[in-house]
Structure 1
Amino acid sequence: MATQQITGADNGPGFLVKVQRFGNFLSGMVMPNLGVFVAWGLLTALFIPTGWLPNPHLGALVSPILTYLLPLLVGFTGGYIVHGQRGGALGALATMGLIIGSDVTMLSGAMVIGPTAAWIMKKVDNYLEGKFRAGFEMLISNFSMGIIGLLITLLGYLIIGPIIEFLIHVLSAGVNWTISHKVLPLISIFVAPAQVLFLNNAINHGIMAPLGLEQVAETGKSVLFLVDANCGPSVGTLLAISLFGKGMAKKTAPTAALIAGVGGIGEVYFPFVLMKPVLVFATMAGITTSLSCFLMLGGGTVATPSPGSFIALLMLTPKGAMVGNLVGFFAGMLVSFLVASVILKLDRSQAAEEEPGELAADVAATSGVAIIVPEATQPLKRIIVACDAGMGSSAMGASILRNKLRKAMLDVEVNNSQIEAIPGGADLIVTHTRLIDRAKKLHDDGRVQFIAIENFMEAKTWDAIVGMVKQRRENS
């Protein structure tokens, strides 16, 4: 088996991999539809009675999209992930049963019943396969789907919907209690560490978004969208590293701060904390500060800022919440900057020497870490850069690598992808060290090679891969 990995990569325990995969599955139902969520958020921010441009005629679009379209999209996507087009269609049908049978937004319900309906359909299809004579396939396919669809839609309408509605009311009551008793900011104790373990998308889109939409339906905004998507605290930590950090971290932190704050790619912040975990307390303090200000000053947005940039936050801020959001954003940035600065100034350790690592047979060293490549000599024609969501850090990394290969006049296909959705036929998969276990478990076919990297922004890593591609071409 030809595989590649960076020496010293911490792949994490199996339990973390399972949690990451489950969280990614939840967020995977929302991420492909984020543009629609943003469009609905802009409609809400502009045209509801408390919006920037109140308009009853245009504002009439807001409620139907929230009630019907968004849950149906999520239900379809969840079903599609499990069982393709048939699963998606059945997931949407089952979600419709929940919507009609309840009085709350059924985004959470769609995340449950969409994949469940598709899973049942998949099991039935597998059972029926090959049990009927040729020529009856379409008849059996349509009627089996129709019968399963009827049963699960009725089940959702009569039983599952009311149960989920009750659970949503309980969760919403719990959230409202934390807000009214001013303890919501303490959630940073869990959110800040979870972010750097690549659970940010699960928190943001799998948990906070459904509960936040419930609040938007009632009050026109929600602070829950800013629990994870507020980039101010992470940018503050990166700015402190830019001034008081050491070695390569100090050199790359300014660019990371710009990308996180303006581009909204929060994953670029994670490697800096993973290299010095104590810095998570700086971000934790910043998140607590931001949430406290949002609550005191009436902050909140109408949808999840995605990407989580300062610009997206402003665009989704409703009328009356701008001051609270601005104060919360910059206060969180300032506090995380100050705490991180103190931590870094007290750090007496020496910066790691940037010496080349021990070379493998066909790879240059990168930032003092060798890439080990046993029995790997074939030319690389297709490279996939993968991350948790397939939209943020992997898109940036793929763009960097693609440009470097183009400048080196090497014709190699480079794409980015979500780990669970990496297409077949890849010669090399590049992902973060915290995600390499997931990638190998899903896609290690004995032929594809893997490289685990610490930082998607580090140029030497991509230069080494370019050198590897070039050397393989010369040796082939």
Structure 2
Amino acid sequence: MSTTTTAPSGFSPRVALQKVGTSLSNMVMPNIPALIAWGILTAFFIPDGWTPNEPLASAVGPMIHYLLPLLIANTGGRMIYEARGAVVGVIATMGVIAGSDWLIAQDNAAALQEWVEGGNAESAFTELPQVHMFIGAMIMAPLAAWVMKKLDALWSNHIPAGFEMLVNMFSAGIFGFIALVAGFFGLAPLVNALMSLLADGVAALINAHLLPLVSILIEPAKVFFLNNAINHGVLTPLGIADAGTNGKSVLFLLESNPGPGVGILLAYTFFGRGAARASAPGAAIIQFFGGIHEIYFPYVLMKPILILAAIGGGMAGVAVNVAFGTGLQAPAAPGSIVAIFAVAARDSYLGIALAVLAAAGVSFALSALFLKIGKQDDGDIAAATAKMEQMKGKKSSVAGALTGAGAAAAADGSDHTGPISKIVFACDAGMGSSAMGATVLRKKVRAAGFEDVEVTNKAISSLNDEWDVVVTQKELTDRARQRTGSAVHVSVDQFMNSPRYDEVVELVETRNGTAGAAAAPAATTSEVAGAPGDSILSPASIVLSGTASDSASGIDEAGALLVAAGAVDQGYVSAMHDREATVSTFMGNGLAIPHGTNEAKSSIQRSAMSIVRYPDGIDWNGNPTTFVIGIAGVGNEHLELLQKVAMTFSDPAQVQRLENATTTEEILEILGDSKE
């Protein structure tokens, strides 16, 4: 798992722009299907469409003005604060939309009054169009979600028991209202002015026949992974506004044209050398038909002068598109020739085809010239790919498939190459084993002085690709990798005392450098005293001498205590067996923590824990086990006690105390009695 890549020090404008672009892309990309659906609706059913249909065309306006921005707001808020952030983000964005409409209506009313008083009856009055709040959504929703998250953190530990739902609901509703008003009067005027400025700038370029010059910015930006900030931050919102008015927009074609990239790859196919020449044909197919443009970036980085070829091809393509008046009705994502033609305006097919050919031809000619006249080695495509990945901040599975780097990355687990700020333990239900492991590693990370590194636990089903390091039991790693492909994946056999934890700490030290804070002292048993209370773990749910002989009967015994406590029904005990059949809940240090699957949470009436001690030990799927702790958790109510269990079982002296305890009260005292 070790890696030699170190995090760059200091502030990097390129990295900052990449992060902005990635955030914008993460908000827009999941909603591209909705944009495509809107494009198809426009292509067929508006008056100028293939099959005009007035009733269906009535959905075009509401989709672009309300549905699409609110979908982006939902995604942006969810990225910051899950479902709660999504809700307040949508509410706040609705304020920006309404505020923009109100301002446009005021401006139109004033302009109409001026038109009437000026006696311009012989000329038509032109209203200002609506401003579609895509940029507003990408600003307001994450901001509102972030503020909501910070507010919740302020009062999370001060809510009286039983009032959690009341406080959570009303706090989100009240803050959502406040954010709506702030968006209405604060952000809406700013976004209206920004969109007007950007639209005027693009219109000036088009009127001056200078639009092809944008390729001087876009093509190098693509190679250095700054394209998302330009594409999703500026071109997509402007293109959607343009398409909403004119039925199509050439702005969607500025970045997505596959011609410049395929021209470079074809030049390598005929005039390249070594591994670069051998891999270029496959890369060209992936780039042109699959739409994965990053596949050609390493070929440019091997010979940076080829950026000029990409610029030349991009300018040629834009010039042809402008000359033929072409446009797409929605963004083409990915930038595949198939996706482009799928959303092309009905009058643009020929012009787009010629633009792609022109871009590829110019790019091919310039690339061939540079490859023939310049010094060319054998084409170290692997080194160029590594350079690209270093700039990007994570591994490229597509480029790695062509160069063999993908297999190496999988072998050492270093799919992520940047600093480490977020570590997650993931298990099936996100309750027991992952919570224990997170506690143990959090202690180690804090002791190393990295107070700002987040270490938490989640269910695998709730993961997304935001984590830097993902720790799972080895049976679950493949499932986690499907959801978090860009993270470092660490597989462990057990969560209590795995040596891989020290490797994770070493990785954090390598990537993040020397910690700025002094090392935190290790917590003592007295510092972690204070269990949540008898409602979670009571003396009646503690057995000092169990009768089970193996894992199956151990689950039955611990589960029966949970049922007797009124916390779960018998179906949850069955789910505990299902969980064990999938992944062992043995933690290490003689401890097993059986619990139900994620799907069985509906069987839980309240949070509870049970403890069964086996003085002679039992066999837990080949592991000698002395303590079995059954858990059933609603929300996070049980996590505080689980953290104390983790701290206790990571200390051999405390484990010995538990083994020597003669009463249930001693067990509670060691773990931390809440009635102190």
TM-score (norm 1): 0.76
Q: Could you tell me which of 83, 90, 98 is aligned with 2:88?
A: 90
Contact 2:316 2:358 in 1 (8 A): yes
Q: Helix, strand or coil for the counterpart of 1:285? A: helix
Contact 1:92 1:114 in 2 (8 A): yes
- Which residue of the partner structure matches residue 212 of structure 1? 239
Show CA shifts across 1:382-413 (max 9, x none). Answer: xxx999699x9547868999x989xxxxxxxx
Q: Helix, strand or coil for the counterpart of 1:424? A: strand
- Which residue of the partner structure matches residue 330 of structure 1? 357
Structure 2, unaligned stretches of length 5 or more?
101-129, 409-462, 479-485, 489-502, 509-676
Task: Indicate the structure (1 or 2) with the bigger Cα radius of gyration.
Answer: 2
Show CA shifts across 1:318-365 (max 9, x none). Answer: 1112222111111111110111111111023332589xxxxxxxxxxx
Aligned partner letter, 1:275: M
CA 1:168/1:216 → structure 2, altered by over 3 Å: closer, same or farther?
Answer: same
Aligned partner letter, 2:505: G
Q: Helix, strand or coil for the counterpart of 2:375? A: coil
- Which residue of the partner structure matches residue 57 of structure 1? 55
Contact 2:27 2:76 in 1 (8 A): yes
Contact 1:289 1:335 in 2 (8 A): yes
CA 1:400/1:47 → structure 2, altered by over 3 Å: closer, same or farther?
Answer: farther
Aligned partner letter, 1:115: P
1:199 Cα deviation (Å)? 1.9
Q: Could you tell me which of 446, 451, 459 is aligned with 2:505?
A: 446
CA 1:231/1:69 → structure 2, altered by over 3 Å: closer, same or farther?
Answer: same
CA 1:30/1:328 → structure 2, altered by over 3 Å: closer, same or farther?
Answer: same
1:191 Cα deviation (Å)? 1.0
Contact 2:36 2:330 in 1 (8 A): yes
Aligned partner letter, 2:86: G
What CA distance in whole angstroms lies between the structure 2 residues aligned with 1:389 and 1:106?
A: 30
Deviates more, 1:200-209 or 1:28-37: 200-209
Answering whether residue 371 of structure 2 is matched by residue 344 of structure 1, we say yes
- Which residue of the partner structure matches residue 251 of structure 1? 278
What CA distance in whole angstroms lies between the structure 1 residues aligned with 2:468 and 2:35?
A: 25
What CA distance in whole angstroms lies between the structure 2 residues aligned with 1:39 and 1:145?
A: 32
1:16 Cα deviation (Å)? 2.2
1:385-396 correspondence to structure 2 within 5 Å: 394=397
CA 1:14/1:170 → structure 2, altered by over 3 Å: closer, same or farther?
Answer: closer
TM-score (norm 2): 0.54
Show CA shifts across 1:71-95 (max 9, x none). Answer: 0011111111111111111101111
What CA distance in whole angstroms lies between the structure 2 residues aligned with 1:163 and 1:76?
A: 21
CA 1:267/1:352 → structure 2, altered by over 3 Å: closer, same or farther?
Answer: closer
What CA distance in whole angstroms lies between the structure 2 residues aligned with 1:118 and 1:170?
A: 28
Show CA shifts across 1:144-177 (max 9, x none). Answer: 1111111111121233212211221121111111
Contact 1:389 1:419 in 2 (8 A): no
Q: Could you tell me which of 214, 217, 231 is aligned with 1:187?
A: 214
Answering whether residue 187 of structure 2 is matched by residue 160 of structure 1, we say yes
Deviates more, 1:55-64 or 1:189-198: 55-64
Contact 1:45 1:319 in 2 (8 A): yes
Q: Helix, strand or coil for the counterpart of 2:67? A: helix
CA 1:445/1:423 → structure 2, altered by over 3 Å: closer, same or farther?
Answer: closer
1:420 Cα deviation (Å)? 3.2
CA 1:23/1:418 → structure 2, altered by over 3 Å: closer, same or farther?
Answer: farther
Answering whether residue 483 of structure 2 is matched by residue 424 of structure 1, we say no
Q: Could you tell me which of 329, 345, 349 is aligned with 1:302?
A: 329
Contact 2:21 2:229 in 1 (8 A): yes
CA 1:158/1:28 → structure 2, altered by over 3 Å: closer, same or farther?
Answer: same
Q: Which runs of 4+ in 1 moved over 4 A?
A: 9-13, 385-390, 395-401, 426-429
Q: Helix, strand or coil for the counterpart of 1:277? A: coil
- Which residue of the partner structure matches residue 348 of structure 2? 321
Contact 1:386 1:419 in 2 (8 A): no
Contact 2:45 2:56 in 1 (8 A): yes
Show CA shifts across 1:41-88 (max 9, x none). Answer: 222222222223322222222211111110001111111111111111
1:446 Cα deviation (Å)? 2.8
What CA distance in whole angstroms lies between the structure 1 residues aligned with 2:380 and 2:169?
A: 65
Aligned partner letter, 2:133: M
- Which residue of the partner structure matches residue 164 of structure 2? 137
Show CA shifts across 1:185-236 (max 9, x none). Answer: 1111111111011222332222210110110111111111111111111111
Q: Helix, strand or coil for the counterpart of 2:362? A: helix
Answering whether residue 293 of structure 2 is matched by residue 266 of structure 1, we say yes
Q: Helix, strand or coil for the counterpart of 1:280? A: helix
Q: Could you tell me which of 25, 42, 64 is aligned with 2:40?
A: 42
Contact 1:97 1:156 in 2 (8 A): yes
Q: Could you tell me which of 8, 25, 31 is aligned with 1:27?
A: 25
What CA distance in whole angstroms lies between the structure 2 residues aligned with 1:195 and 1:418?
A: 25
Q: Which has the higher contact order (CA 8 A, sep 6+)?
A: 1
CA 1:240/1:12 → structure 2, altered by over 3 Å: closer, same or farther?
Answer: farther
What CA distance in whole angstroms lies between the structure 1 residues aligned with 2:51 and 2:506?
A: 57
Aligned partner letter, 1:256: A
In the alignment of these two chains, the number of paired residues is 403
- Which residue of the partner structure matches residue 150 of structure 1? 177
- Which residue of the partner structure matches residue 463 of structure 1? none
Deviates more, 1:192-201 or 1:235-244: 192-201
- Which residue of the partner structure matches residue 226 of structure 1? 253
CA 1:242/1:394 → structure 2, altered by over 3 Å: closer, same or farther?
Answer: same
- Which residue of the partner structure matches residue 80 of structure 1? 78
Q: Could you tell me which of 169, 190, 200 is aligned with 2:227?
A: 200
Deviates more, 1:11-20 or 1:53-62: 11-20
What CA distance in whole angstroms lies between the structure 1 residues aligned with 2:54 and 2:378?
A: 60
- Which residue of the partner structure matches residue 196 of structure 2? 169
What CA distance in whole angstroms lies between the structure 2 residues aligned with 1:24 and 1:312?
A: 21
What CA distance in whole angstroms lies between the structure 1 residues aligned with 2:297 and 2:89?
A: 34
1:296 Cα deviation (Å)? 1.1
What CA distance in whole angstroms lies between the structure 2 residues aligned with 1:175 and 1:154?
A: 31
Show CA shifts across 1:404-443 (max 9, x none). Answer: 89xxxxxxxxxxx9863557226999xxxxxxxx978xxx
1:141 Cα deviation (Å)? 1.2
What CA distance in whole angstroms lies between the structure 1 residues aligned with 2:60 and 2:391?
A: 33
Q: Could you tell me which of 142, 147, 150 is aligned with 1:120?
A: 147
Contact 1:52 1:318 in 2 (8 A): no
1:445 Cα deviation (Å)? 4.2
CA 1:6/1:82 → structure 2, altered by over 3 Å: closer, same or farther?
Answer: closer
What CA distance in whole angstroms lies between the structure 1 residues aligned with 2:297 and 2:239?
A: 25
Contact 1:86 1:118 in 2 (8 A): yes
Contact 1:225 1:304 in 2 (8 A): yes
What CA distance in whole angstroms lies between the structure 2 residues aligned with 1:353 and 1:327?
A: 33
What CA distance in whole angstroms lies between the structure 2 residues aligned with 1:399 and 1:250?
A: 11
Aligned partner letter, 2:250: V
CA 1:160/1:324 → structure 2, altered by over 3 Å: closer, same or farther?
Answer: same
Q: Could you tell me which of 56, 67, 70 is aligned with 1:69?
A: 67
Show CA shifts across 1:240-260 (max 9, x none). Answer: 111111111111111111100
Show CA shifts across 1:274-296 (max 9, x none). Answer: 11111111010011011111111
Aligned partner letter, 1:45: A
1:6 Cα deviation (Å)? 7.4
Q: Helix, strand or coil for the counterpart of 1:130? A: coil
CA 1:348/1:368 → structure 2, altered by over 3 Å: closer, same or farther?
Answer: closer
What CA distance in whole angstroms lies between the structure 2 residues aligned with 1:368 and 1:404?
A: 15
Deviates more, 1:10-19 or 1:206-215: 10-19
Contact 1:389 1:418 in 2 (8 A): no
